[in-house]
Amino acid sequence: MKTVLYVLLAVCVVSLGFWAYHENYKTQDAMAEAEAVQTRIGDARARLAVLRAEWAYLNRPDRLRDLAEINFDALALLPLQPEQFGRVDEIPYPPVQTQLPLIDPATSEAITVEEGSL
Amino acid sequence: MIRTPLRPLARILEARARGDNPDAIERENLAARHEAMYDRDRGRAESRLFVLGLCFFAAFSTISIRMGVLAGTAPAEPTVSAAGVEIATQRAEILDRQGRILATNLETSALYAQPPMIVDPARAATELARIFPDLNAAALMEDFTGKRKFLWVRKVLSPEQQQAVHDIGEPGLLFGAREMRLYPNGALAAHVLGGASFGREGVSAAEVIGTAGIEKMFDDRLRDPARAAEPLQLSIDLTIQATMEQVLDTGMKLMNAKGAAGVLMDVHTGEVVAIASLPDFDPNERPAPPTKGNPSDSPLFNRAVQGVYELGSTFKIFTVAQAMELGLVNPDTIINTSSPMQWGKHRIRDFKNYGPTLSVEKVIVKSSNVGTARIAQQIGAERQQSFLRSIGMMEATPLEIVEAKGGKPLLPPRWPEITTMTVSYGHGISTSPLHLAAGYAMIANGGTVVAPTLLRHPAAQQGARILSPETAAAARQMLRHVVTEGTASFGEVAGYEVAGKTGTADKPKETGGGYHKDKVIATFATMFPVSNPQYVLIVTLDEPVNTTGPEPRRTAGWTAVPVAAEMIRRVAPLLGLKPQIEPGRLSDITLTSN
């Protein structure tokens, strides 16, 4: 009986040790992964900062003005003028769309649809 | 342990036989027992104290060892925690009011050399000189072969240059990481941003410190690691700033001026939407301050904030507004304007003679020095000074750039009556265009003081009330008439109801003593739209000459006003102001009797 107990205890200790080491390695792996992700985030942020700087540089007003002048033939862009403001009532309402009548394919006759039945 | 009895029978009997007191034996034994108990307790207390001391020793040594370790090890970034990933740069960005970048950081490299590690110094020197034309191959060769162990070659490299240096393949040429400040818009808003440079430099990193402008003013805040991820948002609008600089630059060239300044300010919030001073510079390569000549001729000089000038007739509206507020005059009061006006040994004259009398409104519309001086006489020196002080004309503006402290107004040392009279039409007192913008904003917003600010501040300022809303409205109406029928007729912009006042002041001679005959500062101070003013615009030209006519014209009406009008035409739509159709002027009521 005692031997069984000792064997069981030994198995228990070994399996606990195995579990503990396993958890330890898992933690280390997770930390290494977190570090790698952290580095990637840092790199992505650095890249984002460069792209933002480049975007701002490419969109600087001087350059856009020059581009608008160079491409005047194609785009005809001019500075915003006071006359370009409009009022809402200057815009015509979109014309009412008249729908074509539904046609019954069997008889090729128009089906009259009651108002509100659709 | 065998407990010794207090009264041992043998000794008691012995003592009784001798006739001694047996109680003495008891007391003796009791004393001996107490002694033993005392010794035991003492020993126990001592051992407890010793254990306690050990505990304290252990605790303090743990703390001191930990402190020693913390002090002795290099700082490490926390790698696992989620916090801390926001910090990407060492200096916070600066954005405009719509979130567009005005200043950001760029990762780059510095190039240094370690001559002992250089394999082929001659080739390294020639190749470097080829990549960087400003380097001298012979001087580099001398450095590389001399006794030096370390030298900086370049502070910042572009990625292309870095690749080219890499391609030399020299092991003694090394790169250090650098973060540099980048102003992607070039010279735009240069005077506001100022510039930045490297502070303390190490091989692997260098501090970036602000050297001027808002970069220096908010250096601590921008470098605070806790707020590095939080950009500093300004009230400047990139598009409007660009438009202002373009129009001002064109205007400056057309009017043959040597400098120009412009300020556009929100009259309710005090936000400066655009502020320009020409000539300007590129903050990416901030030039060194001039060592000789007049510092105000340097492009580094901010004419809008640091430049204090006698702004001339633009001040007249303050005099008239104060007189109306005090109840001394109303717009129709008739003022004696016979020119010249003799005052002691001084003589005040108008640009031309406007006749013997004018109404107060006409004094402003025609810009009569004599009329304004007479009104100022009624106000008196003391009230005039307190009025100017309350609208901030007596001290430097609180604008958030370091240069603002340098824009302290030049005030007359004494304030006799003749000074009151000259100050009333803007002579004898020198202020910056920004001071004037703040003063006009006060009139425009209905009479409350606003302090100009460069930070985004969407809520209206609740400043002290200087003028009643009625007085401010009357003053605005006069300014409107200056544009419709007075000296600023070129200032009319259809749909924007421009109101404003011109000012032309002769420049004082740098050597002192009198004024130049043919050098003026022309200013147009304006607000729009006058029925509900939103913005104040100040345009100042330094030594302008309009040569389109048969003879050169220097007055603000011919120089600053057309520039300001063009600026309003361009800027107002960008500000989202819709042109309004102005209500026609009511026909005058004619008194009749029948």
Q: Is B29 exposed, middle or buried (CB count within 10 Å of its CB: 0-12, 13-18, 19+)?
A: middle
In this prediction, residues B432-454 reach a mean pLDDT of 93
The amino acid that residue B439 corresponds to is G
Neighbouring residues of B539: CB distance < 8 A, sequence distance ≥ 6: B248, B251, B260, B261, B262, B523, B524, B526, B560, B563, B564, B567
User: Per-residue pLDDT tens for B148-157?
Assistant: 888 888 888 8
DSSP labels, B223-261:
H-GGGTTSPEEBS--HHHHHHHHHHHHHHHHHTT-SEEE
What CATH number labels B94-132+146-233? Answer: 3.90.1310.10
Residues of B in contact with A84 (CB under 8 A): 573
Residue of A nearest to B182 (CA): A53
pLDDT band at B78 (very low <50, low <70, confident <90, very high): low
- Give the span between the Cα atoms of B259 and B309, in whole angstroms: 13
Three-class SS state of A94? coil
pLDDT at site B90 = 77
**A46 contacts chain B (CB < 8 A):** yes
pLDDT, tens only, B301-351: 999 999 888 888 999 999 999 999 999 998 888 988 887 888 888 888 888
Cβ-contact B492, B483 below 8 angstroms: yes
CA distance B445 to A116: 56
Per residue in B195-208, pLDDT (tens digit) is 998 888 888 788 88
Whether residues A49 and B88 touch (CB distance < 8 A) is answered with: yes
Distance of alpha carbon B473 from alpha carbon A17, whole angstroms: 88
Q: How far is B181 from chain A (nearest CA, A)?
A: 10
At B5, list the tokens. 């009895």
Burial class (CB in 10 A: 0-12, 13-18, 19+), A79: middle
Closest approach of chain A CAs to the CA of B237, in angstroms?
Answer: 12
- Mind listing the pLDDT tens digit for each residue in B237-260? 999 999 999 999 999 999 999 999
* Greatest alpha-carbon span in chain A: 103
Highest-pLDDT range among B43-47, B219-223, B455-459: B43-47
Give the span between the Cα atoms of B299 and B297, in whole angstroms: 6
User: B89 vs A49: CB contact, 8 Å cut-off?
Assistant: yes
> Residue A41 and residue B85: Cβ atoms within 8 Å?
yes
Are A85 and B578 a contacting pair at CB < 8 A? yes
Residue B438 has pLDDT above 90, yes or no: yes
Q: Is B246 on the interface with A (CB under 8 A)?
A: yes
Q: Tally Cβ neighbours within 10 Å of residue B191.
A: 27
Count of CB pairs separated by less than 8 Å, A with B: 74
To the nearest whole Å, the CA of B507 is away from the closest chain A CA by 33
| CB B208, CB B90: distance < 8 Å | yes
Rounded CA separation B469/B447 (Å): 6
Identify whether the C-beta of residue B496 lies closer than 8 Å to the C-beta of residue B580. yes
pLDDT > 90: what percent of chain B? 44
Name the closest residue on chain A to residue B179, using Cα atoms: A46
Cα(B425)–Cα(B335) distance, integer angstroms: 15
Q: In terms of CATH, what superfamily is B240-574?
A: DD-peptidase/beta-lactamase superfamily (3.40.710.10)
- Res A80: pLDDT: 85
Task: Give, as one character, the DSSP assignment of residue A108.
Answer: T
Interface of A with B in 76-105 (CB under 8 A): 79-85
- Taking only the tens place, the pLDDT of each residue in B466-514 is 999 999 999 999 999 999 988 888 888 888 889 999 998 888 887 777 8
Q: Which residues of B touch A62 (CB under 8 A)?
A: 185-186, 188, 242
CA distance B152 to B134: 15
DSSP B561: H
Residue B78 corresponds to which tokens in the numbers above?
């926390």
CA distance B418 to B267: 32
User: How many CA atoms does the CB half-sphere of B546 hold within 13 Å?
Assistant: 17
Strands (E), B85-172: 94-95, 101-113, 151-157
Distance CA A48, CA B179 (A): 14
Give me the pLDDT at residue B567, please.
94
| B184 closest CB neighbour out of A34, A56, A80 | A56
B109 - beta bridge partners? B157, B177
Looking at CA atoms only, how far is residue A26 from chain B in angstroms? 14
pLDDT per residue as tens digits for the range B29-60: 999 999 999 999 999 999 999 999 999 999 99
Q: B240-574: same fold as B94-132+146-233?
A: no
* CA A93 – CA A115 distance, rounded (Å): 23
Measured distance CA(B92)–CA(B86) in Å, rounded: 12
Q: How far is B98 from chain A (nearest CA, A)?
A: 13
Band of pLDDT at residue B588, cut at 50, 70 and 90: low
CB-count burial class (<10 Å; 0-12, 13-18, 19+) for B48: exposed
**Residues in A touching B494 (Cβ below 8 Å):** 82
Facing B188 at nearest CB: one of A49, A61, A82: A61
B578 contact partners, CB below 8 Å, separation of at least 6: A85, B495
In this complex, do B579 and A79 lie within 8 Å of one another by their Cβ atoms? no
Is B573 within 8 Å of A57 when comparing Cβ atoms? no
Percent of chain B with pLDDT over 70: 95
Segment holding A103, helix H or strand E: strand A103-104
Neighbours of B175 (CB within 10 A): 17
Provide, as residue numbers in chain A, all residues whose Cβ is less than 8 Å from the Cβ of B208: none
Contact flag B573-A61 (C-beta cutoff 8 Å): no
DSSP code of B448? B
Q: What is the DSSP string of B299-338?
A: TTS-TTTT--B--GGGGHHHHHHHHHHTTS--TT-EEE--
Query: Does the structure show a pLDDT above 90 at B448?
Result: yes
Which of A35, A62, A77, A81 is the best substitution to test chain B (most B C-beta atoms within 10 A)? A62
More confident residue, B353 or B27: B27
B239-253 as b/e, with b when 16 or more CB fall inside 10 Å?
Answer: bbbbbbbbbbeebbe
Q: How do the domains of chain A map onto residue ranges?
A: 19-75
Q: How many CB atoms neighbour CB B6 within 10 A?
A: 13
Residue B587: predicted pLDDT: 61
Please state, in angstroms and rounded to a whole number, the distance separating the CA atoms of residues B340 and B373: 12
pLDDT, position B590: 65
Which of B107, B242, B573 minimises the CB distance to A81? B573
Q: Is B238 in Cβ contact with A82 (below 8 Å)?
A: no
Burial of B535 (0-12, 13-18, 19+ CB in 10 A): buried
Instruction: Place B586 in a pLDDT band, splitting at 50, 70 and 90.
Output: low
Which A-chain residues 6-35 have CB contacts (< 8 A) with chain B?
Answer: 31, 34-35
HEC per residue, B172-228: CEEEEEEEEEECCCCCCCHHHHCEEEEEEECCCCEEEEEEEHHHHHCHHHHHCHHHC
> What is the rounded average pLDDT for all residues in chain A?
86
Angle at CA of residue A87, ends A82 and A92, nearest 5°: 130
Q: How far does CA B256 lie from the centroid of its chain?
A: 30
Q: Are B548 and B555 in contact (CB under 8 A)?
A: no
Which residue in chain A has the smallest CA separation from B574? A80
pLDDT by residue for chain A (118 residues), tens only, comes to 899 999 999 999 999 999 999 999 999 999 999 889 888 888 888 888 889 989 999 999 999 999 999 999 998 888 888 888 877 777 888 877 777 777 777 777 776 655 554 4
Which residue among B106, B185, B569 places its CB closest to the CB of A50? B106
pLDDT at B87 over 70: no
Global model pTM greater than 0.80: no
| Inter-chain touch A53–B106, beta carbons under 8 Å | yes
pLDDT for B183 = 93
From chain B, pick out residues whose CB is under 8 angstroms from the CB of A61: 185, 188, 238-239, 242
Nearest to B184 among A53, A82, A85 (CB): A53
Contacting residues of B for A90, CB less than 8 Å apart: none
- The ipTM value here is 0.73
What's the sign of the alpha-carbon dihedral B31, B35, B40, B41?
positive
* Nearest residue in B to A61, CA atom: B242
Task: For chain B, give every domain's residue range.
Answer: 94-132+146-233, 240-574
The alpha carbon of residue B570 is apart from the nearest alpha carbon of chain A, in Å, by 7
Which of A38, A40, A47 should one mutate to test binding to chain B, selecting the residue with the greatest count of B CBs within 10 A?
A38
Q: Which of A52, A60, A79 sits opposite B570 (nearest CB)?
A: A79
CA distance B501 to B525: 5
With an 8 Å Cβ cutoff, are A82 and B572 in contact? yes
Task: Provide the phi-psi class of B458: left if phi over 0, else alpha when psi is between -120 and 50, else beta.
Answer: alpha
Q: Does B383 touch chain A (CB under 8 A)?
A: no
Q: What is the mean pLDDT of chain B?
A: 88
